[in-house]
Every structure is written in C-alpha cells, then in structure tokens.
Amino acid sequence: MHNNKFRGGWLISVLLLSLGLIGCPKQSPQPMSYGSTPSTSSGGSEMDESAVGEDERIQERVQQEGEGGPLQDVFFSYDSFELSEEARQTLQANADWLQNNAEVKVEVEGHCDDRGTAEYNLALGAKRARAAQDYLITLGVPAERLSVISYGEELPQCTDSNESCWQRNRRGHFSVLR
C-alpha cells in the first residue's frame, strides 16, 4: 500500500513553492439545495474560502507525473498487463539502479490509454503497476521500497488518437519518493 502523507515529499514541496501554490486559499463547495426549498442560482461561481488542507500537496501532485530520475517507463499492449521482453529489460535496468541507490523509495504508477472505460482502466492500471512491482521484487528490490498506485486513463502523456500516443500512455511509471 502506498503512503499518501509522504508521497512525493521533497519534490512536491519544491514544486508547490515554485508554483506559488502553498498558501493559496482553497475553495469550498457552495451548498446546494434540493427538494422544495429554492435552489441557489446559476452554476458554481459563488464559493467560500477556507484554509489549505493537508491533502493539498497530494492533490497538486496529481497534476504532474512524479519524477522518476533515471528510472525508465515500461510499456504494455492494449488491455494487457503482461510484461514484454523489452519491459523486463527496462525493469532490470531500473532494479540495478535501485540496488545502487538503496535509500530511494519508488511508487509504481499504472497508466492506460483512453480507449476503454475509466473504471475498468483504473483496475487495469493497478494490474500493470502490480506486475511491474512484482517483477522488481523478483529482481531483488525490497518490497518495502515499492508502493503502487493506479491512475487508469486519467493522466495521459498525450491525447492524440493514434497508436503511437496510445502506446506512450499504456505505461508503468516510476516516481521517486525518497
């Protein structure tokens, strides 16, 4: 299981500071009313302000794929979480680097192309992340240094409708947590 409090730690702090995001007011929802009481007027523009929540850094994290350093992505076939020979070679190189950088913790992200349904792709992304994680463990990377998360089709690298773009999106990505 991943740890949501510390994921992305230093990297995200730098990112947030550089974007000036820490300290921005977070907007909270305008109450809606249903039923016979009058509803509020038109859509979503009126909001209250409130303090920045503890979650904020994680939320901003979602906007930007985590940095993997020298760790390379692995790629999958459509609707598959099988590791190709090429993916295994990439994972071997990633495992070697992780062996030489024993303090590094990594979150393995599973991603999908956008052909398919969001929910199925979330589950498929989890399988991809898990397949990559399992293989790294068999190569000797301690399990406690690896966590997994699926982003399904939600964070594409590109949005074109062609095979080369879809292929780039069907990936396992490695995000260094430290």
Binding segment for another protein (CB under 8 A), chosen from 12-20, 84-92, 137-145, 149-157, is 149-157
Contacts of another protein in 50-69 (CB under 8 A) = 55-56, 58-60, 62-64
Residue 162 contacts another protein per CB under 8 A: no
Q: Rounded to whole angstroms, what are the CA distances from 3 to 6, 7, 110?
A: 6, 6, 16
Of 135, 47, 36, the residue nearest 83 (C-alpha): 135
On whether the CB atoms of residues 95 and 136 are closer than 8 A, the answer is yes
Residue 32 contacts another protein per CB under 8 A: yes
What one-letter code names the amino acid at 10?
Answer: W
Binding segment for another protein (CB under 8 A), chosen from 10-18, 39-47, 91-99, 167-175, is 39-47
Residue 11 contacts another protein per CB under 8 A: no
Q: Which residue has the tokens 């390379």?
A: 72
Beta-bridge mates of residue 150: 110
What one-letter code names the amino acid at 108?
Answer: V
Residue 104 contacts another protein per CB under 8 A: no
Out of 67, 101, 127, 167, the only residue in the binding site for another protein (CB under 8 A) is: 127
Binding segment for another protein (CB under 8 A), chosen from 10-18, 91-99, 148-156, 163-171, is 148-156
Residues that bind another protein (CB under 8 A): 1-5, 7, 26-36, 38-39, 41-44, 47, 55-56, 58-60, 62-64, 79, 115-120, 122-124, 126-127, 129-130, 148-152, 154-155
